Amino acid sequence: MKVAVVGASGAVGQEFLKVLADRNFPLDELVLFGSGRSAGNEYEFKGKKLVVKELKHNDDFKDIDIALTSAGASISKEFADTITKYGAIMIDNSSAFRYDDDIPLVVPEVNPDDVLKHKGIIANPNCSTIIMVVALKHIYDISKIKRIIVSTYQAVSGAGAKGIIELEDQTKKIISGHENEIRCEIFPVRIAFNVIPHIDVFLDNGYTKEEMKMVNETRKILGDNNIKISATAVRVPVFTSHSESVSIETERKITIDQCRNALSKAPGVTLKDDFKNKIYPTPLDASNKDDVFVGRLREDISVENGICFWCVGDQLRKGAALNAVQIAEVMIKKGII
């Protein structure tokens, strides 16, 4: 199995290397691709040095079986043909193909069989969506969900490696009394010791693209266009792991015990939910972990058949690189690759 990572120098690209190594993914060769700027960068993988090649319109993907791509939507669109024309399967982390009806959008714990419909490309969902649907799936299996209201607490690494540097740099300047030297390049305003209700661009309806991703992708992954969803996406000064405060309304009454029971057995979920002993997850629990952590489960006292919960996941890992690698694993298991 020959695997390519496209966008190897980015935050998700680096996470791909970790996840492929950690999971002992069955590969014979790993090839790294990046922009002209990152070409030549060297990274270690299982004790071997790999050099990043420049992504070009050529035949470099001829022998590739799987390309894990995370270089932004415009690059994905521009290079999709180049990557897939000799048969490589492209598992794409960008938003380029997520809403195409004939391209599956897959979270292995939720809709693994959708990989069967692929025509060369499989889309990896948005990080916040993945984290939420892993938790929702096992509630949805007990009763359909009518409505979801979610407010997010998203880590800076969701904006890439540069987001991490910007938070670090701004924090150092504030702590050392050089607040006036702060620069905002990645985030629209200062993120250190601040929160920003603005991720991705604003759309005409007043929601951001990030928020509408959660709406549209959740419906597609759960295969239910009737779910009403409203999201507020907020950046917080946390390095890794997104958190989400979620309120749902189910069609039928579900008890909290039923939820706990389902989630305690759910693959990909770690239930950390025991308020009597002050047990609930925070980003620190989830960072560098594969699972989505769920806690604060309680009846929503403002509506019939309502449930509130809090979920946290490493958005570079389960929210991006891990999910894409798990998609590849599902395809191998199903004999597609």
Residue 248, phi then psi, degrees to nearest 5? -125, 155
**Considering the rule CB under 8 A, would residue 139 count as an interface residue with its own copies?**
no
Residue 326: CB partners within 8 Å, gap ≥ 6?
A: 108
Is 127 part of the annotated catalytic residue set? yes
**Considering the rule CB under 8 A, would residue 180 count as an interface residue with its own copies?**
no
- List the beta bridge partners of residue 37: none
Angstrom distances, CA of residue 9 to CA of 88, 140, 215, 329: 21, 37, 30, 23
**Considering the rule CB under 8 A, would residue 184 count as an interface residue with its own copies?**
no
**Considering the rule CB under 8 A, would residue 33 count as an interface residue with its own copies?**
no
CB 248 to its own copies: min, Å: 11
Query: Based on the number of CB atoms within 10 Å of its own CB, is 182 exposed (0-12), middle (13-18) or buried (19 or more)?
Result: middle
Angstrom distances, CA of residue 209 to CA of 104, 145, 172: 20, 23, 31
**Considering the rule CB under 8 A, would residue 232 count as an interface residue with its own copies?**
yes
Query: Based on the number of CB atoms within 10 Å of its own CB, is 93 exposed (0-12), middle (13-18) or buried (19 or more)?
Result: buried
Query: Based on the number of CB atoms within 10 Å of its own CB, is 236 exposed (0-12), middle (13-18) or buried (19 or more)?
Result: middle
CB 79 to its own copies: min, Å: 30
Residue at 324: amino acid letter: A
Q: x/- contact string, 244-283, with its own copies (CB under 8 A)?
A: -x-x--------x------------------xx-x-x-xx
Region from 4-12, 46-54, 303-311, 329-337 binding its own copies, contact rule CB under 8 A? 303-311
Among 78, 200, 300, 329, binds its own copies (CB under 8 A): 300
**Considering the rule CB under 8 A, would residue 297 count as an interface residue with its own copies?**
yes
Among 54, 200, 290, 299, binds its own copies (CB under 8 A): 299
**Considering the rule CB under 8 A, would residue 182 count as an interface residue with its own copies?**
no
* Residue placing its CB nearer to its own copies in the complex, 79 or 207: 207
Residues noted as catalytic:
127, 242
